[in-house]
């Protein structure tokens, strides 16, 4: 009895190691370019998070937003379908490298970190980091120097976090998402948070859930880019298509629709 | 609004329940098999199982999920970059990522079967040797001994630690959002991002509470049912 079980066990363990590894039988071609790989499978898989106004769901539950429409237009030109996959932002480069997605296209700030881990396109939209706090506090604190004793929150690994360390604001709490940072301010557990300008425009002020919060200071102008796998030829392809879309005014129209500023 | 949130959370909770049920379905028998392995008289198998259990219990489930999901794709990517590949490298190069849900399931089943295996082992080893010897004297076969004498008593003894582990499993399912599987916490967090609503996240707690409550009652009922062994 035991011997049989031991055998079954050994077989199971072996199969656990082998399972799923042969999911594609096609032999990989060393020279295959990323663009060929994508056109062959017929879909461009775009990694996104729910981040208005870049990618968010409309009333019918369909993805929409600046980046959504932009990506769909690029997909048309490439002759492939565009599939949007929600990813965990912390793992974005892992997603890219393991080929579960083909590009990160979700209002990604072009940072040194992004350039180190991926091949990033030309910038397409401009953004800034803004300090958000209650309207009452915003009257007292006007510049970076006066804010140095405040308690800050920002999304872990975000451009807002870098802004905080650049300004040597010491009391800092990393949180999981930009929206969580707003929540921290609203609940009073921190005094201020540093988030994207687009996010702040969409989420604070009159008619939003955070009516009492306001932008106190704009810092670190930054630009959004699209991240492709390192050494991928997709980057140049997207750059080309992006130039065409800029040339014929498509991007400008999109930017106006979602009140964004295109990068020069 | 409340109805809409509830519906959305229920959808996420469906995935939570799926992870829970499928993990139990596979991990309960796999755990028993691993426990036999770690009690085996065949030393290499015994040590293989012990090391395996050590690795799985010794690393966070979150990390295991990341390895299971991204690992194969990363290996494939690495292998494709190697020139002049041998048989193995070519095979590695064909590796791609699993489906997200499948990856979660693999990680959960492996992780929980290791914990279960130790509970089984404790239960089986707690049955006095005298009972087995008595059975042997009566001429019972090894399989008869295990199923007719040991197993039923084991089930009764391991029920409390098992229910502990199973209730932990209910809540561990929330880790699945690390690799972006849409379970209930994820569904709740989405409302913060998309609509600036905070309460749905806390509301998810009610779902866990009710589910664990039902499980607690169920285990209490089973324990009563198994009471006939006493005295």
Q: Does A201 lie in the same domain as A190? A: yes
Residue A151 within any structural domain of the chain: yes
- Within 183-222 of B, beta carbons closer than 8 Å to A belong to 189-190, 192-198
Q: Does A131 lie in the same domain as A216? A: yes
HEC per residue, A178-243: HHHHHHHHHHCCCCEEEEEHHHHHHHECCCCCECCEEEEEEEEEEEEEEEECCCCCHHHHHHHHHH
The structural domains of chain B, with segments of one domain joined by +, span 2-59+112-229
Residue A213 within any structural domain of the chain: yes
The reply to whether residue A179 touches residue B192, judged by beta carbons under 8 angstroms, is yes
**Number of domains present in the structure of chain A:** 2
- What's the rounded mean pLDDT across residues B56-79? 92
Residue among A3, A19, A87 whose CB faces B180 most closely = A87
Would an 8 Å CB–CB cutoff place A253 in contact with chain B? no
Residue A74 within any structural domain of the chain: yes
Q: Is residue A48 classed as helix, strand or coil in its secondary structure?
A: strand
Q: Does A176 lie in the same domain as A113? A: no
B2-59+112-229 adopts what CATH topology?
Answer: MetI-like fold (1.10.3720)
- What's the rounded mean pLDDT across residues A190-218? 85
The reply to whether residue B72 touches residue A179, judged by beta carbons under 8 angstroms, is no
Q: Which residue has the higher pLDDT, A222 or A31?
A: A222
Complex confidence, ipTM: 0.71
- With CA atoms as reference, the chain B residue closest to A231 would be B81
The reply to whether residue A98 touches residue B72, judged by beta carbons under 8 angstroms, is yes
* Residue B122, phi-psi category: left (phi > 0), alpha (psi -120 to 50), beta (remainder): alpha
Q: Does A212 lie in the same domain as A144? A: yes
Domain of residue A84, residue span: 34-126+223-262
pLDDT over 50 (residue A115): yes
- What's the rounded mean pLDDT across residues B57-63? 95
The pLDDT assigned to A28 comes to: 44
The reply to whether residue A22 touches residue B66, judged by beta carbons under 8 angstroms, is no
Q: Does A142 lie in the same domain as A115? A: no
**DSSP secondary-structure letter at B177?**
G
| Mean pLDDT, all residues of chain A | 85
Chain B residues with CB-CB distance to A19 below 8 A? 106
pLDDT over 90 (residue A27): no
pLDDT over 90 (residue B148): no
Which domain CATH number covers A58? Answer: 3.40.190.10
Neighbours of B153 (CB within 10 A): 17
Residue A78 within any structural domain of the chain: yes
pLDDT over 90 (residue A258): no
Would an 8 Å CB–CB cutoff place B136 in contact with chain A? no
Chain B residues with CB-CB distance to A97 below 8 A? 70, 73-74, 77
The pLDDT assigned to A126 comes to: 87
**Could you report the per-residue pLDDT of A62-73, keeping only the tens digit for each?**
999 999 999 999
**Could you report the per-residue pLDDT of A160-174, keeping only the tens digit for each?**
888 898 888 889 988
**DSSP secondary-structure letter at A61?**
S
- What's the rounded mean pLDDT across residues B178-203? 85
Residue A3 within any structural domain of the chain: no
pLDDT over 50 (residue A217): yes
Structure tokens at A112: 């040194």
pLDDT over 50 (residue A52): yes
Residue A16 within any structural domain of the chain: no
Q: Does A234 lie in the same domain as A120? A: yes
The pLDDT assigned to A16 comes to: 56
Q: Does A181 lie in the same domain as A171? A: yes
The reply to whether residue A23 touches residue B94, judged by beta carbons under 8 angstroms, is yes
Q: Does A174 lie in the same domain as A209? A: yes
* Total-model pTM: 0.73
pLDDT over 70 (residue A25): no
Q: Does A229 lie in the same domain as A200? A: no
Residue A6 within any structural domain of the chain: no
The pLDDT assigned to A31 comes to: 47
Q: Does A252 lie in the same domain as A216? A: no
The reply to whether residue B70 touches residue A21, judged by beta carbons under 8 angstroms, is no
The reply to whether residue A86 touches residue B180, judged by beta carbons under 8 angstroms, is yes
Q: Are A174 and A155 in contact (CB under 8 A)?
A: yes
The pLDDT assigned to B203 comes to: 93
Residue A139 within any structural domain of the chain: yes
- What's the rounded mean pLDDT across residues A216-230? 89
Q: Does A183 lie in the same domain as A107? A: no
Q: Which band of pLDDT confidence, cut at 50, 70 and 90, is reported for residue A22?
A: very low
Q: Is residue A79 classed as helix, strand or coil in its secondary structure?
A: coil
pLDDT over 80 (residue B67): yes
**Could you report the per-residue pLDDT of B71-99, keeping only the tens digit for each?**
998 888 888 888 877 888 888 888 888 88
The pLDDT assigned to A5 comes to: 63
Chain B residues with CB-CB distance to A181 below 8 A? none
Chain A residues with CB-CB distance to B73 below 8 A? 97-100
- What's the rounded mean pLDDT across residues B14-29? 96
């Amino acid at each position: 009895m035991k011997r049989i079980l031991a055998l079954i066990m050994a077989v199971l363990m072996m199969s656990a190691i082998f399972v799923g590894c042969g999911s594609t039988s096609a032999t990989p071609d060393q020279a295959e370019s990323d663009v060929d790989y994508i056109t062959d499978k017929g879909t461009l898989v775009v990694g996104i998070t729910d981040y208005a106004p870049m990618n968010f769901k409309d009333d019918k539950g369909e993805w929409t937003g600046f980046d959504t429409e932009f990506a769909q237009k690029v997909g048309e030109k490439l002759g492939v379908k565009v599939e949007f996959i929600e990813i965990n932002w912390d793992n974005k480069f892992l997603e890219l490298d393991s080929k579960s997605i083909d590009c990160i296209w979700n209002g990604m700030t072009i940072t040194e970190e992004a350039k180190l881990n991926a091949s990033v396109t030309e910038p397409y939209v401009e953004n800034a980091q803004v300090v958000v706090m209650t309207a009452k506090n915003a009257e007292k604190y006007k510049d970076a120097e006066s804010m140095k004793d405040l308690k800050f929150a920002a999304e872990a690994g975000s451009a807002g976090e870098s802004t905080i360390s650049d300004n040597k604001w010491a009391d800092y709490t990393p949180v999981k998402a930009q929206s969580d940072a707003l929540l921290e301010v609203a609940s009073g557990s921190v005094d201020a948070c540093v988030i994207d300008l687009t996010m702040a425009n969409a989420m604070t002020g009159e008619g939003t859930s955070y009516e009492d919060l306001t932008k106190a200071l704009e810092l670190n102008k930054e630009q959004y880019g699209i991240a492709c796998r390192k050494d991928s030829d997709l980057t140049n392809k997207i750059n080309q298509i992006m130039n065409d879309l800029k040339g014929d005014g498509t991007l400008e129209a999109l930017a106006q629709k979602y009140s964004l500023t295109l990068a020069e | 609004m409340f109805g809409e949130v509830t519906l959305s959370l229920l959808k996420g909770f469906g995935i939570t329940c799926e992870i829970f049920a499928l993990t139990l379905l596979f991990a309960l028998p796999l755990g028993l098999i691993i426990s036999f392995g770690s009690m085996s008289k065949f030393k290499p198998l015994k040590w293989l199982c012990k090391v395996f259990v050590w690795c799985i219990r010794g690393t966070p489930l979150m990390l295991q999920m990341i390895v299971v999901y991204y690992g194969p794709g990363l290996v494939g990517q690495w292998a494709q970059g190697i020139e002049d590949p041998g048989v193995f490298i070519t095979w590695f190069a064909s590796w791609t990522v699993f489906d997200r849900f499948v990856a979660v399931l693999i990680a959960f089943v492996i992780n929980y079967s290791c914990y279960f295996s130790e509970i089984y082992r404790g239960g089986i080893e707690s049955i006095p040797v005298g009972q087995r010897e008595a059975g042997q004297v009566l001429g019972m076969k090894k399989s008869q001994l295990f199923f007719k004498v040991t197993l039923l008593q084991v089930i009764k003894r391991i029920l409390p630690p098992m229910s502990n582990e199973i209730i932990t499993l209910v809540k561990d399912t929330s880790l699945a959002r690390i690799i972006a599987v849409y379970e209930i916490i994820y569904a709740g967090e989405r409302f913060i991002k998309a609509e600036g609503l905070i309460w749905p996240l806390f509301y998810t707690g009610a779902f866990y509470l009710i589910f664990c409550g039902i499980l607690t009652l169920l285990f209490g009922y089973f324990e009563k049912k198994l009471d006939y062994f006493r005295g």
